[in-house]
Amino acid sequence: MSRSVAVGIIGVGGMGARHAVNLHEHVGGAHVAAVYDLDVERVQQAAIHCGSPAVLDDPLALIHDPRVDAVLIASPDATHAAYVQECLRARKPVLCEKPLATSKADARQVVEAEAALDRQLVSVGLMRRFDPQHVAVRDAVATGRLGRPILFKGVHRNAAIPYDARGEVILTNSAGHDVDAVRWLLNQEVEEVFVRGVRSHRAFSDNTTDLLLLQLTLSGDCLATIEVYAAAEYGYEVSAEIVCERGTAITGQPSPAIVRSAGARSTAVSMDWLARFQVAYVAELTQWTRSVQTGEPFAGASAWDGYRALQITDACVRSLKSGRPVPVDVDEPAL
Ligand code: ISE
C-alpha cells in the first residue's frame, strides 16, 4: 500500500478550511500535515478540525518543510502564482485553487517554469470537472448521439460574493470556472469574447458591475452564452446546457427533498458553492492524492488550463471595458 501523502495547506479561510476537513475526513491516502494562515485564530481552529497538524507561521517554510510532500494553496488570489512558483522550486506537487494567477503573464510564467522542469507538478482547482452533473453532460455529448454541439448556455449565480464586485474581479475570480467548463465540456477553444455588464442593485456603488453576460465564439462552429451574476440573493446556482443538432444535455441540480407546505411545493437551493460542489471537491482531492501517489497525471485542470482560463477572462475584461468583441489568442500547449 502507498504511503499517505502529507499535505501542507496554505490558507484556511472558507475554501481552505473545507479542503482541510475533506482531506481529513473523506480522502483516503492523504492527511493534513501542516497548515498556515495569516489569521492565527482561524488556523488554530482549522488544525483542531483536521487532526492537529503542524501550525506554521510562514508559507514558504511550509512549502519547503520536509514533513510536507505536496501543497494545497487556498490563500487570496493575488498570492497564488508566487506560492506555486515556490512549490516548483521545491519540486513538490501543488493543487492551487483557481485562479492560477491574477494576470495571464504570471500564469504563463508558471506554465513555463513547470515546462522547464519537464514534470507535471501543477494542478488547478477547477472543480466542475469532477461534478457528477457536469461529467454526465460531457459524457452525453461525447457519445455523438445528440449530434454536433451548436450552443453552450451557462448560468453562474452567487447569492453574494465575499469580495469586490467590480466586473474585472468577477471575471477573473468567478467566470474562470465557466470558460473552463466550456473548453472542457466541448473540447473546443474560445476564439472571441464579447462581454456586457450591469449593476444589479441600485444600492450598490457606481463602479459595481455584478451581472455579466458573456458571448463566446468557439473553435468548432459553436457559440456560448454565460450569465455570471454575483448578487442573486436567493441562493447559489450553476448550470450548463449544451444544445446540439438533435437534442440537448443540461446539468440537473443536486436534489434535496421536495417539501409541501402552506400551499407551496419547494426544494431548497444551496446558499454557497461549498455545499453545491461538495461531492466534486472530494472527488478532486481524491484524484489529486492518487496522482501524487502514483505519479500519473492529474485528471483535472493543469497549469495550461489555468493559464487558458486567464487568457480568456483577460480578453473578457478588455471587452467589458471597450464595449467591443475581443479575439483570444490560441497558442500551443507548452507541455
Ligand atoms: C468562488 O471562489 C468559487 O470558486 C465559486 O465556485 C464561484 O461560484 C464563486 O463565484 C467564486 O468566487
- Predicted confidence (pLDDT) per residue in 156-212, tens digit: 999 999 888 999 999 999 999 999 999 999 999 999 999 999 999 999 999 999 999
Which carries the bigger pLDDT value, residue 329 or residue 119?
119
| Type of residue at 123 | S
| Of the candidate ranges 45-59, 227-241, 268-282, 320-334, the one whose mean pLDDT is the lowest | 320-334
CA of 176 to the centre of ligand 1 (A): 9
Ranges of beta strands (E only) in 56-189 are 70-73, 94-97, 122-125, 149-157
pLDDT score recorded for residue 256: 83
Within a 10 A sphere around the Cβ of 247, how many other Cβ atoms? 12
Distance 95 CA to ligand 1 centre (A): 16
Backbone φ and ψ for 75, nearest 5 degrees, come out as -90, 180
Segment 17-28 shows an average pLDDT of 97
CA distance 326 to 35: 41
Upstream peptide bond of 162 is cis (omega within 30 degrees of 0): no
- Residue 334 pLDDT more than 70? no
Task: Report whether 175 contacts 212 (CB < 8 A).
Answer: yes
pLDDT at residue 68 in the model:
98
Question: Which residue did the predictor score with more confidence, 334 or 50?
Answer: 50
Indicate the average pLDDT of the chain: 96
Q: Assign 150 a pLDDT band (cuts: 50, 70, 90).
A: very high
Take residue 242 and report the three cell numbers written for it: 449544451
The atom number, within ligand 1, closest to the CA of 161 reads: 12
Q: Average pLDDT for residues 256-277, to the nearest whole number?
A: 94
User: Does 173 contact ligand 1 (Cβ within 6 A)?
Assistant: yes
- Residue 228 half-sphere exposure, CB side, CA atoms within 13 Å? 27
**pLDDT value of residue 1:** 54
The yes-or-no verdict on residue 335 having pLDDT over 60 is no
In ligand 1, which atom is closest to the CA atom of 162? Answer: 12
The number of angstroms, rounded, from the C-alpha of 86 to the middle of its chain's C-alpha atoms is 21
Identify the pLDDT of residue 2: 77
Test site for ligand 1: of 155, 158, 180, most ligand atoms within 8 A of the Cβ: 158
How many CB atoms neighbour CB 25 within 10 A?
11
CB 174 within 8 A of CB 155: no
Ligand 1 atom closest to 230 (CA): 10
For residue 212, the CA-to-ligand 1 centroid distance in Å is 15
What strands, in cross-sheet order, belong to the sheet with 122-125?
54-55, 30-36, 5-10, 70-73, 94-97, 122-125, 301-302
Report the residue count for the chain. Answer: 335
